[in-house]
Structure 1
Amino acid sequence: MRHKLKITREINLQIKHNLITMPGVSFKEISTVFSHPVALDQCDRFFEKFPGLVKRSAYDTSGSVKRIMEENLRDCAAIAGKQAAEYYGGNIVMKEIQDNKENFTRFVLLGRELETRKKADKTSIAFSFGNAAGALFKCLSVFALRDIDLTKIESRPIHGRPWEYLFYLDFLGNTGQESTLKALDHLRELTEFLEILGCYPRDASHEKKGM
């Protein structure tokens, strides 16, 4: 929010982690596995199955493949997507080793202006309020009263204000709709801070696949 940018698009990509080595290297030759810390954590069951493998954190997944290829690390592997293996010439020795086979990561496109196109059906907001009994319940009630579907809520501590939080909320609706406008007006009455982070078309591609 510091940069005053707005969300204009979202895309949900399915994450499939693969174990990648240099060409000609077998699984039995591997002793160390590089990847981004999040990717390593998402493959916990794989490491439980093969406890002899040493995990090493790297700055990103693709960079891990690049490293083992450029440094000729024949006793090492990387966890990354198949595109990284194809780009750097790596060999996939194990496919889809992630714990959750329905693992999606959400990416957003940012712009300088808030868009309110008719096909936009999802809105993201941020808000905060004073510490009072039932405050969060009251804030969420403005959406329930109008049958507005919430798709995500999370909180982050507010710097310099102990025990106070900034809430991030996604819901289905366009900021031009009457029900959305009334809900946001109602929410303003209950909060100390409210900002619309974006109004954009939701990516429902994973829902169409039954994921």
Structure 2
Amino acid sequence: MMLMASKGALPIWVCAKAAQFHVGCSDLGGRTGGFAVNWSVKGDSVRPRKWECLSVGFLAQRAITPVEDEKPQTSGLESSGAIERTQQEEAKVFHRDLNLLPKPLSALDLYSNSNDGSKVRVAYQGVPGAYSEAAALKAYPKCETVPCDEFEAAFKAVELWLVDRAVLPIENSVGGSIHRNYDLLLRHRLHIVGEVQLQVNHCLLGLPGTSKEDLKRVLSHPQALAQCEMTLMELGVIRVSTEDTAGAAQIVASDGLREVGAVASSRAAEIYGLDILAKKIQDDDDNITRFLILAREPIIPGTDRPFKTSIVFTLEEGPGVLFKALAVFALRDINLTKIESRPQRKRPLRVVDDSNKGGAKYFDYLFYIDFEASMADPQAQHALGHLQEFAGFLRVLGCYPSDIVP
């Protein structure tokens, strides 16, 4: 079956055994598959009516730019040195009223104001100062970032037209894959339109005037704490898990406890008025997180620069089926950059009958694969057509330009 995207974009390929349209894989002995390709361009699609006319009734929440604390008036009799000291002290004052910061969107409580469309609105999970926000700003330097309290809320914000894009982590070079987002990719009908690879540098943060020797507890996301295990062990501190790194910095700033620190980004220190007690405290210097950029519509693949394609599929039972699935790419010199398997939620176990020993149960998997090729390349089209011969289900999650760490 083939679902068409609007607005001149490429179709969404959802391949099944019963597909009616086939393209012969003439490059490999005339074998045929059920892969459909349609490059026709439709006219401009009609966007939904204004929000007040929709039954959803939600209103998008606009990000609020933090307002600096009001500067005290200085007397003309003050010396220039006193004024300079006052300005330095003010630079370290964090936002006393944390209500001035953007509030995370909730999946059950999404609000919307009218958007003039002057810049892209990008959703991310966490609070201001999170690494996901830094990834969003790397992809769209002039964007308006919208924090969300959960990954699910970021997906829904895009689906409900509250934001234009969502930037979500998918894997880390040290911590591995973020399985939750793999599951959400299949549950939601969003398209991958880009990727961002961000160098992660963890900092140890504390209240102004605090030294790292004063700390007894350190807060952060579990992965960040694990990535800084050696440094934290040397300090002999108690590690406390929080929802995200920037949220840990926010807690330290709001509670005002000098014996509590946080592992977060340097930007989080600026936002919440904390001192950086130590920089680059991660155990592995090559700590890179890969983020996916999600949108409602796919982009048109090209061949002018390196592209990457992400797919998900299931396989029928049989010996060597996974080998055959991977071979369709090797036979065409297509490089695989990522292989991830996830148990199917609706059918997690597969029962296999054995006449001698009775029934056996095995996990039934979904396979996620990233490969270095554009869907505009006929070789990639033939590979997916070939894969469909023994795939029970096949879906292209997105075809997008590759990103490299600067």
| TM-score (normalizing by structure 1) | 0.93
1:195 aligns to what SS in structure 2? strand
Question: What does residue 7 of structure 1 align with?
Answer: 192
Q: Secondary structure at the match of 1:100?
A: coil
Letter in 2 for 1:62: A
| Aligned twin of 1:161 | 348
Equivalent-residue separation in structure 2 for 1:179 and 1:78 (angstroms): 49
Matches within 5 A, 1:30-179: 30-50=215-235, 52-118=236-302, 119=304, 121-159=307-345, 160-162=347-349, 163-179=363-379
Work out the CA distance in 1 between the residues paired with 2:323 and 2:257: 54
For 2:286, give the aligned amino acid.
E
CA-to-partner distance for each residue in 1:82-139, whole Å, 9 max, x for gaps?
A: 0000111111111111112111111111112222231461100001112322111110
SS of residue matched to 1:110? strand
After TM superposition, what 4+ stretches of structure 1 lie above 3 angstroms from structure 2? none
Aligned length: 205
- Asked if the contact 2:195/2:403 (under 8 Å) is kept, the reply is yes
Q: Counterpart of 1:48 in 2: which secondary structure?
A: helix
Secondary structure of 1:181 counterpart: helix
For residues 296 and 338 of structure 2, the distance between their equivalents in structure 1, rounded to whole angstroms, comes to 23
Equivalent in the alignment of 2:172 = none
Structure 2: 5+ residue stretches without partners: 1-185, 350-362
Contact 1:158 1:165 in 2 (8 A): yes
More strand by share: 1
- For residue 322 of structure 2, give the secondary structure of its aligned residue in structure 1: helix
For 2:321 and 2:222, how far apart are their aligned partners in 1?
Answer: 36
> What is the rounded CA distance, in whole Å, between the counterparts of 2:258 and 2:233 in structure 1?
22
The superposition leaves residues 125-169 of structure 1 with CA deviations (integer Å, 9 ceiling, x where unpaired) of: 001112322111110000000000111111111113221111111
Q: Do 2:301 and 2:375's aligned partners in 1 also have CA atoms closer than 8 Å? A: no
Tell me, yes or no, if the aligned pair for 1:130 and 1:164 is still in contact at 8 Å. no
- Counterpart secondary structure, 1:68: helix
Who is 2:390 aligned against?
A: 190
- Separation of aligned partners in 2, 1:76 and 1:131: 54
For 1:169, the aligned partner's letter is I
Structure 1 counterpart SS, 2:324? helix
Matched residue type, 2:217: T
Instruction: Give the SS at the match of 2:318.
Output: coil
Deviation at 1:47, TM superposition (A): 2.7
Relative contact order (C-alpha < 8 Å, sep 6+): which is higher? 1
Distance in 1 separating the partners of 2:286 and 2:274: 25
AA aligned to 1:103 is: N
Separation of aligned partners in 1, 2:317 and 2:343: 13
Bigger radius of gyration: 2
Question: Gapped runs of 5+ residues in structure 1?
Answer: none
**Counterpart-to-counterpart distance in 2, 1:48 and 1:188:** 51
Aligned AA (1:33): V
CA RMSD of aligned residues (A): 1.2
- TM-score norm. by structure 2 comes to 0.49
